[in-house]
Amino acid sequence: MQRTNNILAGLADGEIRQRVGIGSCQPRFYKPAVWKKAKELMEFLCSLGLAEPFDFGRGKGKYLTDMDPEVITQTLITIRDT
């Protein structure tokens, strides 16, 4: 649970929502520092089984999920608050 606390600690609901959205998009649309933060969260989602790494190609999406981003966000908020 320590890793959960490190990734989600101090993140507001809106920031979690934003990072999930960025992580579901293409990295070429974001600055490297922004993508790095989203990537950390997406790797955490992969460890929970809520997403999986999938490289669509250079400059394209890197993660795949069949869940609605809002459901993922609410799941992360619940984990953060426990």
pLDDT for 60: 62
Cα 78 to Cα 82: distance, rounded to the nearest angstrom: 6
Tens digits of residue pLDDT in 22-62: 988 877 788 889 989 999 999 999 999 999 888 766 666 68
pLDDT for 77: 93
pLDDT for 3: 53
pTM attached to this predicted model: 0.82
**What is the residue extent of each domain of the chain?**
2-81
Tens digits of residue pLDDT in 7-18: 898 899 999 999
pLDDT for 45: 92
